[in-house]
Amino acid sequence: MNQDDYFFCGIGGSGMLPLAMIVQAQVRSSGGGRIEGSDRSRDQGRTPEKFAWLEAHGVTLHPQDGSGVTRPEQTVVATGAIEDTVPDIGAAKRAGARIVTRPELLSQLFNAAPTSIGVAGTSGKSTITGMIAWILHQAGRAPTVMNGAVMKNFVDADHPFASALIGGPDLFVSEVDESDGSIARYNPTVAVVSNISLDHKSMEELRDLFGGFTGRAAKAVLNLDNVETRALAQALPNDKVITFALGEESATLNAHDLEPMPTGMRFTLTELGGPRHTVILNVPGAHNVANALAALGAVRAIGVPLAEAVAALETFAGIRRRMEIVGTVNGVTVIDDFAHNPDKIAATLKTLHAFDGRLLILFQPHGFGPLRLMQREFIDGFAGLMRADDVLLMPEPVYFGGTTDRSVGSEDIASGVRAAGQNAEALATREACGDRLIDMARPGDRIIVMGARDDTLSDFAAGLLKRLDTRAG
C-alpha cells in the first residue's frame, strides 16, 4: 500500500465504507495518507448518522461536486459502475489524480495477502463471509475481513457499521462479486462458491467467471446441492475440492437431521471419514445450514479444527438485514430482509413458512435492470411460494438517477403474480405500501420488508413497528 491520499466516491455505500476502513488502517500502519470521500446520499441528507460516524473516525467528507479532488497525490476510488459525468471523476482527471475502481483496489489488497479466502455465489455471500470472520476471530487468526453487510458479532458502540474487520496483513477474507465481472481479478487461496443462478449475467458468462475463480484457487469449497457448483466440483481434481451438501453422504461435509427452531436451526454434521457433530445455529433456515457448511469448509481448508469451528458457529449472531427481527407489537412481527433476487426471496419465504402466520411482503426491487432481466423468475418465485392468504406489495424499483431502461416496473411483476392466483399489488410509492400494510396487519401476521441498495429500508421497517405500536396504544 503506497502512502497516497485516498478519496472514495460514494463512501457511504455498502461496498465502499468497509473498504475505506481497511485502507485507512493500512495507510495509518505505514505512516501516511489521508482518507477523504463524498456521497450523493450525504448531499441529499440521507443516513446522516453514518456520515457523522465516518467524520468522527478521521474521514474528511466533501460534497459530491468535485471540490474534494484537487491533488495529483490523491487516488480516487470509484464504484465499478461510476459514470464519467460524476463531478469527482472529472475533477480527478483535471487534477491528474489516479482513478481506480473499487474492485481493482479491493482485489489488489486481497491478492497481496499470503492467505486469502474469497466468498462468491449468487446468494449467501455476506452470511458465509460473516461466519468465516467469526470463526477465524474466535480461533485467534486475526483476519482482515471485507463484507458487504454489517456483521452483528462485531457491532459495538464504536463500530455500528461493522461491515469490515481490521485484522492483520496475513489473512484476508472477502466477499467477491460476479455481477460486474470483477471476480476475474481475484486469486484466492480458498475459493468458496455457495451457488450459481441467474442474477445479473447470462449462465454462460457466470460459468466462465466462476470456473476461472475456482481454477485459480489452491482449494475450492463447493455446494453439491446446486447443479452449477456441482459441475464446477466435477471439473476440478479431487484433492483440490471440499464439497458440502444437505443430506448427501458423498460430500466432504454433510448436514442431515435438520430441525427448525424458532430462532435458528439444529442439525447433525458428518465429515467424510470423520466424526459427527451436533451443530446449533442462531440463524434460521435450511439455507443458513448450507451457509454454515460453506464457512466450515473454508476454515477447514486453512487448518481450523472442525470441532473448534462448530463451537464458534453457535455464537454467530447473524448479519444485519438478513431476516432480522425488528420487533413485535400486538402480535404483529416486523422483519427486515435483504432478499432481492429470486433465490434469496425463495430462501426467506421457505424459512418463514416453516412457522404459522400470514406474510405481508413489501418487496422494493433493487433496480429496473434486474427486474427486466428476471421478470419471469420473480413472478414464478412469488407465485409458487406465497400461500393463499399472503399479500405482496411492491413500490417502484430503487432509482437514484442515471440512464437505465425503465420499461419493466413493479406492476408487471404484481400483475403476473395476480394472474397466478396470489394476492399482489403495485403501489406508486413505498409510503402508500406502508399505509396499506398498517391497515391490513392483524395479530399473527409477519410483515417482511425486502430489498437491497437502499439503507432507508431499515428506517422504513422501524417506522412500521412504531406505527403499529401507536395503533395498538
Quick one: pLDDT at residue 178? 82
Kindly state the average pLDDT of the residues 416-438.
95
Per-residue pLDDT tens for 123-175?
A: 899 999 999 999 999 999 999 999 988 999 999 888 888 999 999 999 999 99
Q: What is the pLDDT of residue 204?
A: 84
Contacts 24+ apart (CB under 8 A), 21-25: 21/57, 21/164, 21/166, 22/109, 22/144, 22/146, 22/164, 22/166, 23/105, 23/109, 24/57, 24/58, 24/59, 25/144, 25/166
If you ran DSSP here, which 8-state letter would residue 80 be given? T
Range name among 23-32, 56-65, 100-109, 205-214 with the lowest pLDDT average: 23-32
Residue 2 scores a pLDDT above 60: no
Count of CB atoms situated within 10 Å of the CB of 131: 31
Task: Please give the pLDDT value at position 340.
Answer: 84
| pLDDT given for residue 371 in this prediction | 83
Q: What is the pLDDT of residue 273?
A: 87
Closest CA to 163 of 175, 181, 171: 175
57-115: per-residue pLDDT in tens? 999 999 999 999 999 999 999 986 566 678 999 999 999 999 999 999 999 999 999 99
From residue 8, alpha-carbon distances to 25, 34, 175, 177, 401 in Å are 15, 11, 19, 19, 19
Of 230, 285, 227, whose CA–CA distance to 255 is shortest?
285
Q: Which is nearest to 115 in space by CA: 195, 169, 67?
A: 169
DSSP letters of 364-424?
E-S-HHHHHHTHHHHHHHHHHH--TT-EEEE-PPP--SS-----S-HHHHHHHHHHTT-EE
What average pLDDT does the chain have? 91
| 183 and 161 Cβ atoms separated by less than 8 Å | no
Supply angle C-alpha 404, 382, 198, rounded to 5: 55
Quick one: which of 376, 340, 377 has its CA closest to 361?
Answer: 340
Q: Which residues of 455-473 are buried (b: 16+ CB within 10 A; e: fewer)?
A: eebbebbebbbebbeeeee
**pLDDT tens figures, 263-301:** 789 999 999 988 999 999 999 889 999 999 999 999 999
pLDDT of residue 473: 58
Give the C-alpha distances (Å, rounded to integers) separating 379 from 370, 413, 424, 436. Answer: 13, 6, 10, 21
Task: Look up residue 75 and give its three cell numbers.
Answer: 487516488
Contacting residues for 85 by C-beta, under 8 A, at least 6 apart: none
**Cα–Cα distance for residue pair 297/401, rounded to 1 Å:** 41
Q: What DSSP letter does each residue of 116-148 carry, written as one string?
A: EEEEESSS-HHHHHHHHHHHHHHTT---EEE-S
CA 288/CA 296 separation, integer angstroms: 12
Q: Which residues pair with 436 in a beta bridge?
A: none
The answer on pLDDT for 399 being more than 80 is no
Cβ neighbours for 326, distance < 8 A, ≥ 6 positions apart: 334, 335, 336, 461, 462, 464, 465
**Contact (CB, 8 A) for 408 and 451:** no
Amino acid at 116: S
User: In angstroms, how far is CA 473 from the centroid of its own chain?
Assistant: 36
Q: What pLDDT sits at residue 222?
A: 98
> Residues 47-60: what's their mean pLDDT?
93
How would you class 115 by CB atoms within 10 Å of its CB: exposed for 0-12, middle for 13-18, buried for 19 or more? middle
Question: How far is the C-alpha of 18 from the C-alpha of 176, rounded, in Å?
Answer: 14
Given a cut of 70, whether residue 1 has pLDDT beyond it is no
Q: How many CB atoms are closer than 10 A to CB 407? A: 9
At residue 280, the pLDDT reads 96
Q: What is the pLDDT of residues 359-397, one digit of tens each?
A: 999 999 887 877 888 889 999 999 999 999 999 999 988
pTM, full prediction: 0.84
d(CA 276, CA 255): 10
CB–CB of 134/315 below 8 Å?
yes
Say what percent of the chain tops pLDDT 90: 71
Residue 19: C-alpha distances to residues 16, 77, 143, 386, 389 (Å)? 5, 10, 14, 38, 43
29 compared with 280, residue with greater pLDDT: 280
Per-residue cell: 89: 471523476
Scan for cell 468522527, then name that residue: 56
